Amino acid sequence: MITALFLFVMLTFTVIMHVIVLPNWWFLILWLALGYIIASLFVILFMVVQLPILRRLSLTNKYKHYAYRSTAYFLNRFILRLSIEVKGEENIPFGNRLTIYSNHKSYVDPVVMMEVITRPTSYTPKMSVYKLPVMKTLLKSMGAFPIDRSSDRNTARAMVDAIKVVKQGVAMVIYPEGGIKDRNDIRMVAMRAGAYRLAVKAEADLLPISMIGTTDVKKRWPFRKTKIKVVIHELVKFKSVEHMKTQEMADYMFQIINEPLNDVEDE
């Protein structure tokens, strides 16, 4: 939807400018470039205007999920210039209570995840993200679980809401490193055992995911495309790990997520 809207606006603008305003072939590249910018701003405004409506819809509403995933696809292809390869998409379960754990090396990671996961998702941003324009409304509409490192009480309150969100069928994406620790190393370099409390409290299955290539986005954007590979591992059933302490669970997931990343670093 969003990509189709973007292309329609860009091409319409280009044709109007070329045919009516200045029908000179030398200016066609200029009109295309301006059309690209104007169409990008238009679709972003289109989504911002929709936010109050999307916020009122249920977290698992099909249109809401479609709108956000469509927006992510547009951002990844036309703004961030990413080429995404997904391995193991068949491992994404439907209907299960689900928490997703992945390495986190770039601010584009959640946008990639939003496109890749084919079911409603939510996220665990730090409180500072809520101060960004529009982001507070966006995250609330997705049922996000805000991490307030300055207040354990606020985080505990948010945990109660996050458990309800997961039980409704929304997959909660968690980056257990507790932020971006080392952009130059694609592997997970840290692991917060507390990140697994949500899976335990909600009795949710765990889906480990390894993301390869997002560390290169900052170096290559905006002039070169970046190839991203997303490896979706086999689902870890909660029943198979419920006997573990959160630290043991963290170590177990750490090994799974880092396995394909170690191979890349060794090349």
Which pLDDT score is estimated for 87? 97
Which pLDDT score is estimated for 197? 92
Residue 179, both tokens: 């932020």
Which pLDDT score is estimated for 135? 87
| pTM: predicted TM-score of the whole model, two decimal places | 0.90
| Helix residue ranges, H only, 96-216 | 109-116, 135-141, 152-167, 197-202
At residue 91, what are phi and psi to the nearest 5 degrees? -85, -5
Which pLDDT score is estimated for 235? 97
Name the 3-class secondary structure at 83. strand
The set of residues, in sequence order, having a beta carbon less than 8 Å from that of 170 and lying 6+ positions away, is 59, 60, 120, 121, 122, 142, 143
CATH number of 83-266: 3.40.1130.10
Which pLDDT score is estimated for 152? 67
Which pLDDT score is estimated for 136? 85
Which pLDDT score is estimated for 128? 81
Q: How far is CA 254 from CA 87, 200, 209, in A?
A: 19, 17, 10
* Distance from C-alpha of 43 to C-alpha of 48, rounded to nearest angstrom: 9
Residues of the chain with pLDDT under 50: none
Which pLDDT score is estimated for 229? 96
